[in-house]
Chain A
Amino acid sequence: MPDAVQLSQGAAKPFVIPGKPFAPEDEAALREALKRCSPSTFEAAVQFRKTGNPEHLPAVVIGVIERFVEPDLRIKLKDADDDLRLIEDLGIDSLTMMEIVILVEDVLQMSINNDELRNLRTVGDVKTFIDCKVRGLSLPKPTKFLPIEQIAAIMPVQPPFLFLNEASVSSNGANGKYKISGQEFFLQGHFKDNPVMPASIMLEALGQLAVLYLLEGASTEPGKVISPNTIFFTGCEGVRAHRVCRPGDILTLSIKPKRMKMPLATFEGAIRVGQEKAAIAEEITMTFGFAEAVAQPVPVNGTAPKLNGENGSHSPTPLRAAVNG
């Protein structure tokens, strides 16, 4: 499990198998509750209730979601990746979400607060959420979806040198998309009568996604915020291009943080076009710093809030990054 970010409100009690063993009447009640779900959902729920083994959870959760999705959309869940969105892709509104929650609560014998639900946007969010609840872990930061307007508002880099159309950012990393429009100014010369996306620009796009992660996804000490004006590229390793990318191609970009220690953050990155690998970077490293002054919550004792030290004189604490593995 990733070093999940410290979210105080989401901290849940560890899941406890109820004192009494899973009885035949419990199984009957479970069967009734899950009567509109697939048999495998019911089986997984029985196994979970008998053993408490969280390995059975994804099958239960996906089975319950599937039961509430309109039949013609259920196919999307068949080989769903974790980025499948509940509202946009599956047509689940907030009331249906409540129905899902109530059934999950009933089946898994847990309770879920409204606050905890607000940030569940994807199938992956839901799986992670349930997993954290059952294991008694605190909850990761929710995935944020950023359209181009929001990206442009956040990023120091701007058009015509911004190579992200949309992005999603979570504590585990960031994903983005960029469509090569053919109107990019450098394609006029790269190459003569043969527009090809420069590999250096593809690396730039990955770097921009890493910047977006630092600004939106990375967890910092309370009250500390990474300043957009402090982030710069420092180096990269293991960059390979696998596919020529041309106008019309949609680049699917992803980055994951590997190491973060003030003032350096290192990421791995990859670009796909459809299912084809287009480019990878084993390491992209950026330097960053905190904003000079950030509004702080007013302390309880009523004294004026302290500001962060200027120019790093207040020694910064290493970020607690969410690092996979």
Chain B
Amino acid sequence: MPRVYITGLGFITSIGNDAARVTTSLRELRHGFELYPPFQKPEIPVKVAAPVREFSTDSTDCEDWTFPSRYTIKREVLRGMAPHGVFAWCAMQQAIEDAKLSDADVSNSQTGLYAASGGSPHLMGYMLQRMHSVGVMRCSPLGIVASIAGTVQFNLVAHFKIKGSSCGFASACASSSHALGFALDDLVLGRQKRMFVVGAEDGNMDAILPFAGMRALSLQTDPNLASRPFDAARDGFVGTGGGVVLVLETEDEVARRGVKPYCEILGWGQASDGHNVAISHPEGTGLRAAMENALRATKVAPEEVDYVNAHATSTPIGDVSEAKALKAIFKTPAARPAISSTKSLTGHGLSLAGAMESGFCALAIRDGFMPGSAHITRLDPECEGLNIIRSTLPAQPHIAINNVSGFGGANVTLVFRKAG
């Protein structure tokens, strides 16, 4: 079986719009939260979000949007995109440059792209409202392409001339980890030599606020306290958006091109709770099984794991559920890995989460650090006994895992290993 490596990364996130800025934010625990202007209305109890900076995509007219000048996107490309399509497009540019890929490396039958996003509720809402007000024949011709789940791969596959496998994954907050897992499988099975994996979300008002109805969002008004996974006083997640792209390549391609990978992506596992449409199993049984499956598949013993990037979104039920699953896997207190939730810095990126946090794991392994879990003032007693690190450790994890859990009780664990 060929080994598979991460050779390129691109980040448009609330904690930085390139790998260098993201690394600094992770090391120094700089969060991306603010009192999000669109939420500052009396009728909206949610106040904090973690928007992407340097982009302005609030208008329903894509020609009003602005983005950093290093990116040029033609109108004919932009018109089929949601805000998160633009984030993903920019992250894709970064990842291609980072991996030193030529046009021919990007566009060939052996290179594919898997993506995950929740679509664009903002543009979908606008399009439907316009359809009802001005008539069905006067909707934007590309309104559908820009707004439905799938918009990311539609756009990136067409504009970057991807010729290999392409599809999208829709398992909510587990989506981009599923995309990574199945991309890895395609490489291991020899179906492809290189895969782009993309996670992206708008992270704007219409993408975040619908979660208020299920009481999943933090109502904190202090951006420094709103997202605090594993803290006893946590009260929900903080929404974020962005786009992250990972380049996965087989060892043959890595050798042929002579590039230095971030890390190896060793394998993955998944399992489902079979319990509730939106609530994690209280004992974390699905996530525990996902971790067991991932470790078994990669022949990694629990005590070999150095770092866990937890799913923990800062919701009361979810974080405890994961803590129980982690305790069930990492039984020996002395050998428990460092655990943190980088959502304490970024907020929860929904479909973006798995790709973003896997990218963080790759940065951590290459650059030799383990980012701390920020904003814990009083650890939830249910999480005691786990090695939840509150500040960044300057040590290189040899093996790191990333957990995600999505609606419907879908759980995915990915395993990464230091290259070489």
Contacts and interface: CB of A to CB of B under 8 A. Distances in A.
Contacts of B75: 68, 70
Contact of B138 (A36, A68, A95, A102): A102
Contacts of B138: 102, 105-106
B382 interface: no
A98 B74 contact: no
Interface string A57-79: 00000000000101000000000
A96 B75 CA distance: 10
A68 B79 CA distance: 11
Interface in A152-195: none
Contacts of A99: 79, 140-141
B144 to A, nearest CB: 11
Contact of A95 (B63, B74, B141): B141
A190 B136 CA distance: 64
B43 interface: no
A234 interface: no
A36 B76 CA distance: 15
Interface in A70-100: 70, 93, 95-96, 98-99
B137 interface: yes
B156 to A, nearest CB: 18
Interface string B22-65: 00000000000000000000000000000000000000000100
A111 B141 CA distance: 15
Interface residue range, chain B: 10 to 19
Interface residues of A, number: 12
B301 interface: no
Interface string B128-155: 0000001001101110000000000000
A96 B74 CA distance: 13
A293 to B, nearest CB: 42
A133 to B, nearest CB: 15
Contacts of B134: 106
Contacts, number: 23
A99 B141 CA distance: 7
Contacts of A98: 141
Interface in A87-131: 93, 95-96, 98-99, 102, 105-106, 111
Nearest to B76: A96
A223 B387 CA distance: 87
A96 B79 CA distance: 10
A14 B76 CA distance: 34
A43 to B, nearest CB: 22
Contact of A111 (B63, B137, B140, B142): B137
Q: Is the interface of B mostly helix, strand, loop or mixed?
A: helix
Contacts of A36: 63
Contacts of A105: 137-138
Interface in A192-213: none
Contact of B76 (A70, A102, A106): A70
Interface string A227-262: 000000000000000000000000000000000000
B76 A93 contact: yes
B63 to A, nearest CB: 7
B141 A102 contact: yes
Interface in B398-413: none
A36 B138 CA distance: 18
Contacts of B74: 70
Contacts of B79: 95, 99
A68 B134 CA distance: 21
Contacts of B140: 99, 102
A37 to B, nearest CB: 12
Contacts of A102: 137-138, 140-141
Contacts of B142: 95
A102 B143 CA distance: 13
Contacts of A96: 76
Nearest to A36: B63
Contacts of B76: 70, 93, 96
Contacts of A111: 137
Nearest to B138: A102
A100 to B, nearest CB: 10
Nearest to A105: B138
Interface centre among A36, A70, A95, A106 (most CB of B within 10 A): A95
Nearest to A98: B141
A99 B79 CA distance: 10
A41 B134 CA distance: 22
A105 B63 CA distance: 20
B296 to A, nearest CB: 49
B158 to A, nearest CB: 12
B266 to A, nearest CB: 43
A46 B137 CA distance: 23
Nearest to A68: B75
B78 to A, nearest CB: 12
A36 B142 CA distance: 19
Contacts of A106: 134, 138
A35 to B, nearest CB: 9
12 contacts: A36-B63, A68-B75, A70-B75, A93-B76, A95-B141, A99-B140, A99-B141, A102-B137, A102-B138, A102-B140, A105-B137, A106-B134
Interface of B: 63, 74-76, 79, 134, 137-138, 140-142
In the A-B complex, the 10 residue pairs with the closest CB atoms: A98-B141, A95-B141, A102-B138, A99-B141, A95-B142, A105-B138, A106-B138, A36-B63, A96-B76, A111-B137
Interface of A: 36, 68, 70, 93, 95-96, 98-99, 102, 105-106, 111
Given A70-B76, A102-B140, 8 more contacts: A70-B75, A93-B76, A96-B76, A99-B141, A102-B137, A102-B138, A102-B141, A105-B137
